[in-house]
């Protein structure tokens, strides 16, 4: 036996997915492996390089995977001993989208894909591991494989959400494919394909697909003389054909092509070969679809110069959200993706305004507040924002504030053209009330929190849901520190927020009937925002502030964290987390259907099952209300 190959096989069997293979299989793979020694900072491949014929395993050292955005290099993953990386050649045909660089002296094993592919195709555990590693960029090592996937941070857009999107993206493909029957002569069919300028034809029997003929079949079986050109095509067609359903996603199509080692998929009415052909998906279609992934959308946003360019991208995001709902993708995943693209659009609007106005006279932070700040904006609702600039000398204050008001007015106007309506309550950075210095903002939060009953008309709880979009993170941190400092031992503030959270009208009557609007344009409709979502949003905010938990602004994640921090009430919090996602999905479906905010649900149009699902999502609210009354000793409500 080759002792080096034996040593490599021994190493590989300690790590997934290789632990699913026999030692003999690993030894066979190891004999084809190239051992690569990398000096510190050496680059194995970089962004936009042509794909290699191998993928890689770290034998020793650390490999950093990085992306470059806005001339800034960001580490999206660190690969340690036993980690696999560079899987893109398995699943995509376009170039690398990351750079792999040695952080220290390292040794990596290059495993040729052609050698490893048969083990992937024949072993579903290996296939699933590779797909998962590519799709959600999880890292499995010997130390953490038993403790679950170690996911890259949600903040790292290029790894997590980009691949997530591949499960949402629908494919555009030829929905008028050429078809024929198996008894046709090869020469005639080849002429037909040439005239139609296509590289494939589906072979049918009683309108159902039984095989496919491609240019590759003609090259390998006719041009080589194995079969005469006068033979019938059933002799050389590839059979059986791999079939899929009509709304197959990009990732699913990639997986099937890999699994069956084919270059075309046949789309049928029910996804089997027992129904009518509806289309054909080629490898080329997958390459084209790659151009619509979030990474590409973000790049397009960064290159955009006009509001109409940004609007077109926001419209494409709406299509992606709609596709995800149809595919039953977890709504929290969709929120992550939508949030990244919404933030990129807002950031670009600010950048374009700065390019127009000239450099800011002071450092500042632009914060999205409300649903954008909570990463919950799936529909095109109104914009909510604040602007905080650093403290400047009194003589400069007026001039600096004037600049930032101009910046905010132009930015909000640009965003309105993109499709984000103005906030009807004026909660925008373009309002001089919400564009001011850090000291003024600290005074504002101190006033709101320490004397909440006085002059509180301008206090909206959305000011406590925020996310920095552009500017100086330390400014956001300063505001956050003030909020959480004021949260300690402040019963007056929590009494005010608690009453505010509980004063929303009940969603169900005593007899468990939906309480509908009694008059106005939405008469006999259910206000899912005011009666269902807002009580959950307000309660999660109230509780997260009371437990002094920083850095979590999303309602679903707030409830999940509360279940850990207040474990005796974990069941209530977890029920509320799931309820929130269900309600958000109902609202999103309604909004997409009617091209509006989705606030008012027509209960009559819901199926019996959906009515029950909606009622069940409202059930935890009673327990949550009792918990809040008890915790904050609230007995009278305003």
Residues spanned by the domain of 33: 3-118
Q: Are the C-beta atoms of residues 73 and 27 closer than 8 Å to each other? A: no
Q: Is residue 302 part of a domain?
A: no
**526 and 605 inside one domain:** yes
Provide the 3-class DSSP secondary structure of residue 571. Answer: helix
With residue 592 as reference, give the H or E element that holds it. Answer: helix 570-594
**334 and 478 inside one domain:** yes
CATH number for the domain spanning 10: value is: 2.60.120.10
Backbone angles phi, psi at 550, to 5 degrees: -90, 160
Would you say the pTM of this structure is higher than 0.75? no
Q: How far apart are CA 242 and CA 244, in angstroms?
A: 7
Q: Is residue 537 part of a domain?
A: yes
The tokens describing 594, both together, are 């009617």
Q: Are the C-beta atoms of residues 58 and 83 closer than 8 Å to each other? A: yes
Mean pLDDT, range 129-156, rounded to an integer = 39
**528 and 593 inside one domain:** yes
Give the least confident one: 26-40, 439-453, 500-514: 500-514
Confidence of residue 431 (pLDDT cuts 50, 70, 90): very high
CATH number for the domain spanning 267: value is: 3.10.580.10
Q: Are the C-beta atoms of residues 63 and 103 closer than 8 Å to each other? A: yes
The tokens describing 163, both together, are 């691949």
Q: Is residue 163 part of a domain?
A: no
**366 and 338 inside one domain:** yes
Closest CA to 372 of 363, 359, 381: 381
Neighbouring residues of 17: CB distance < 8 A, sequence distance ≥ 6: 84, 123, 125, 126, 129, 130
Q: Is residue 595 part of a domain?
A: yes
Closest CA to 96 of 137, 156, 52: 52
What's the alpha-carbon Rg for the chain, to the nearest Å?
Answer: 29
Neighbouring residues of 281: CB distance < 8 A, sequence distance ≥ 6: 171, 173, 174, 244, 248, 253, 264, 265, 266, 267
Q: How far apart are CA 73 and CA 304, in angstroms?
A: 21
**512 and 464 inside one domain:** no
Strand partners, 203: 180, 211
| Share above pLDDT 70 across residues of the chain, in percent, rounded to a whole number | 87
Q: How far apart are CA 347 and CA 467, in angstroms?
A: 12
pLDDT tops 50 at residue 154: no
Q: Is residue 165 part of a domain?
A: no
**504 and 560 inside one domain:** yes
**104 and 227 inside one domain:** no
**401 and 454 inside one domain:** yes
| Share above pLDDT 90 across residues of the chain, in percent, rounded to a whole number | 45
Q: How many folded domains does the chain comprise? A: 4
Q: What is the reported pLDDT for 266?
A: 94
Mean pLDDT, range 361-374, rounded to an integer = 93
Mean pLDDT, range 76-93, rounded to an integer = 81
pLDDT, tens digit, for every residue of 453-508? 765 555 678 899 999 999 999 999 999 999 999 999 898 889 888 888 887 767 87
Provide the 3-class DSSP secondary structure of residue 471. Answer: strand
**222 and 265 inside one domain:** yes
Q: Are the C-beta atoms of residues 298 and 345 closer than 8 Å to each other? A: no
Q: How far apart are CA 427 and CA 412, in angstroms?
A: 11
Q: Where does a domain end: 290, 313, 345?
A: 290
**430 and 523 inside one domain:** no
Mean pLDDT, range 86-106, rounded to an integer = 82
**What's the DSSP call for residue 506?**
P
Alpha helices of 365-490 — where are they, by DSSP H?
394-418, 438-450, 473-487
- The full 3-state SS of 124-182, as one line of letters, equals HHHHHHHHHHHHHCCECCCCCHHHCCECCCCCCCCCHHHHHHCCCCECCCECCCCEEEC
Q: How far apart are CA 348 and CA 305, in angstroms?
A: 9
Neighbouring residues of 562: CB distance < 8 A, sequence distance ≥ 6: 540, 543, 544, 547, 549, 569, 573
Q: Are the C-beta atoms of residues 103 and 42 closer than 8 Å to each other? A: no
Exposure pattern of 419-442 as b/e (b: 16+ CB <10 Å)?
bbeebeeebbbbbeebbbbbeebb
Q: How far apart are CA 415 and CA 422, in angstroms?
A: 9
The tokens describing 181, both together, are 């029957």
Q: What is the reported pLDDT for 416?
A: 94
Of 86 and 149, the one with more pLDDT: 86
**522 and 441 inside one domain:** no
**189 and 61 inside one domain:** no
Q: Is residue 637 part of a domain?
A: no
Q: Is residue 426 part of a domain?
A: yes
**What's the DSSP call for residue 464?**
G
Q: Where does a domain end: 261, 290, 319?
A: 290
The dihedral built from the CA positions of residue 267, 272, 277 and 278, taken in this order, carries a sign that is negative
Q: What is the reported pLDDT for 47?
A: 84
CATH number for the domain spanning 403: value is: 3.30.460.10
Q: How far apart are CA 73 and CA 194, in angstroms?
A: 47
SS3 content of the chain, % helix, strand, coil (to 5): 50, 15, 35
Q: Where does a domain end: 483, 514, 532?
A: 483
Q: How far apart are CA 535 and CA 508, in angstroms?
A: 13
pLDDT tops 70 at residue 335: yes
Q: Are the C-beta atoms of residues 340 and 294 closer than 8 Å to each other? A: yes
Mean pLDDT, range 77-101, rounded to an integer = 82
Distances (CA, A) of 168 to 11, 122, 288, 402: 37, 26, 15, 44
Strand partners, 386: 367
Q: Is residue 78 part of a domain?
A: yes
């Amino acid at each position: 036996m080759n002792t080096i190959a034996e040593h490599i096989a021994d190493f590989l069997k300690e790590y997934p997915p290789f632990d699913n293979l026999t030692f003999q299989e690993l030894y066979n793979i190891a004999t084809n492996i190239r051992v690569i020694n990398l000096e510190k900072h050496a680059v194995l491949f970089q962004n936009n390089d042509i794909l290699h014929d191998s993928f890689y395993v770290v034998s020793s050292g650390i490999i950093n995977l990085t992306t470059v955005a806005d001339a800034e290099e960001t580490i999206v993953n660190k690969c340690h001993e036993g980690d696999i990386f560079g899987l893109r050649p398995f699943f995509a045909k376009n170039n690398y989208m990351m750079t792999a660089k040695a952080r220290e002296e390292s040794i990596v094993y290059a495993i040729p894909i052609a050698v490893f592919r048969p083990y992937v195709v024949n072993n579903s555990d290996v296939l699933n591991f590779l797909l998962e590693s590519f799709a959600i960029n999880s890292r499995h090592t010997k130390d953490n494989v038993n403790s679950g996937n170690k996911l890259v941070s949600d903040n790292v857009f290029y790894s997590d959400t980009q691949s997530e999107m591949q499960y949402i993206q629908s494919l555009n493909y030829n929905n008028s494919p050429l078809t024929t029957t198996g008894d046709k002569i090869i020469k005639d069919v080849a002429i037909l394909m040439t005239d139609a300028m296509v590289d494939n034809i589906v072979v049918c029997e009683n309108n159902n697909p039984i095989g496919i003929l491609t240019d590759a079949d003609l090259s390998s079986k006719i041009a080589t003389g194995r079969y005469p050109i006068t033979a019938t095509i059933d002799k050389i067609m590839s059979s059986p054909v791999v079939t899929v359903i009509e709304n197959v996603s990009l990732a699913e199509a990639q997986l099937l092509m890999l699994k069956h080692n084919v270059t075309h998929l046949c789309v049928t009415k029910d996804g089997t070969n027992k129904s009518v052909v509806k289309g054909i998906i080629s490898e080329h279609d997958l390459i084209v679809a790659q151009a619509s992934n979030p990474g590409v959308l973000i790049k397009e946003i960064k290159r955009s110069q006009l509001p109409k360019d940004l609007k077109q991208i926001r419209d494409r995001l709406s299509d992606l959200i709609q596709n995800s709902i149809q595919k039953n993708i977890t709504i929290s995943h969709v929120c992550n993706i939508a949030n990244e693209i919404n933030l990129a659009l807002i950031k670009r609007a600010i950048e374009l305004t700065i390019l127009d106005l000239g450099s800011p006279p002071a450092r500042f932070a632009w914060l999205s507040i409300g649903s954008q700040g909570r990463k919950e904006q799936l529909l095109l609702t109104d914009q909510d924002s604040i602007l905080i600039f650093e403290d400047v000398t009194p003589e400069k204050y007026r001039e600096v504030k004037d600049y930032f008001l101009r910046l905010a007015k132009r930015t909000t106007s640009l965003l309105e053209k993109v499709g984000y309506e103005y906030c009807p309550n004026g909660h925008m950075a373009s309002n001089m009330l919400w564009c001011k210095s850090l000291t003024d903002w600290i005074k504002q939060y101190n006033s709101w929190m320490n004397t909440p009953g006085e002059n509180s008309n301008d206090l909206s709880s959305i000011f406590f849901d925020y996310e920095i979009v552009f500017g100086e993170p330390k400014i956001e941190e300063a505001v956050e520190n003030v909020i959480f400092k004021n949260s300690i031992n402040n019963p007056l503030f929590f009494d005010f927020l608690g009453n505010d959270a509980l004063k929303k009208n009940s969603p169900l009557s005593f007899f468990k009937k939906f309480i509908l609007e009694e008059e106005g344009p939405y008469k006999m409709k259910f206000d899912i925002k005011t009666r269902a979502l807002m009580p959950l949003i307000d309660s999660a905010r109230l509780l997260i502030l009371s437990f002094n938990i920083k850095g979590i602004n999303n309602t679903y994640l707030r409830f999940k964290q509360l279940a850990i921090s207040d474990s005796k009430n974990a069941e209530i919090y977890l029920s509320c987390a799931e309820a929130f996602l269900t309600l958000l999905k109902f609202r999103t479906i309604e909004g997409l259907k009617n091209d509006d905010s989705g606030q008012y649900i027509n209960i009559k149009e819901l199926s019996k099952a959906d009515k029950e699902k909606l009622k069940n999502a409202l059930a935890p609210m009673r327990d949550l209300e009792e918990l809040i009354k008890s915790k904050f000793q609230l007995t009278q409500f305003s």
